Amino acid sequence: MTLDGENPRIAKKTTLKDVARMAGVSSATVSMILNGREGVSFAEETVKGVMAAAAKLNYGRERRAKAVIEGGPVILVVVPNVTNPYYATIIQAVQQAAAEKNYTTCISTTYRSLESELAAVQLAQSTGMAGIIFTMLAHPDEVLSRVGSKVPIVVMGDRRVDLSVDTVELNNYDAGSLIARHMCELGHKHMAYISTTLDSCNSIRMQRLKGLQNTISHLCPEGTLLVKSRTITPKVELDNLLIEYSVGHELAQGCFEDKKITAFIAVNDMVAYGVMDAVLEAGFSIPGDYSVCGFDNLLPSQFDKVALTTVEHYIQDKGHNALDLLHARISGQISSRNITRVEISHKLIVRSSTGLPRTRPV
A 10 A CB-CB count for 130 gives: 24
Q: Are 31 and 53 in contact (CB under 8 A)?
A: no
Nearest to 90 by CA among 321, 301, 266, 270: 321
Q: Are 329 and 297 in contact (CB under 8 A)?
A: no
φ/ψ (deg, to 5) at 170: -130, 140
φ/ψ (deg, to 5) at 171: -80, 90
Strand order in the sheet with 104-109: 104-109, 74-79, 131-134, 153-158, 166-170, 341-344
User: What are residue 266's DSSP bridge partners?
Assistant: 194
Quick check: 116 pLDDT over 90?
yes
What average pLDDT does the chain have? 88
Separation between Cα atoms, residue 236 and residue 302, nearest integer Å: 29
The domains found in the chain, sorted by start residue, are 16-66 (1.10.260), 74-170+314-347 (3.40.50.2300), 172-313 (3.40.50.2300)
- State the average pLDDT over residues 185-201: 95
* 0.75 exceeded by pTM: yes
- State the average pLDDT over residues 232-252: 96
What is the predicted pLDDT for the residue at 6?
A: 42
User: What are residue 348's DSSP bridge partners?
Assistant: 311
- State the average pLDDT over residues 308-323: 97
CA 108-90-178 angle, to 5 degrees, is 125
Tell me which H or E stretch contains 196: strand 190-196
What is the predicted pLDDT for the residue at 148?
A: 65
What is the predicted pLDDT for the residue at 32?
A: 76
Amino acid residing at 241: L
What is the predicted pLDDT for the residue at 127?
A: 84
Q: Find all residues with CB under 8 Å of 273, minimum gap 6, and list them.
A: 245, 248, 300, 306, 308
Burial-class residue 257 by CB neighbours within 10 Å (0-12, 13-18, 19+).
Answer: exposed
Quick check: 133 pLDDT over 70?
yes
End-to-end, the C-alpha distance of the chain in Å comes to 91
pLDDT tens track for 56-105: 777 654 444 444 444 568 999 999 999 999 999 999 999 999 999 999 99
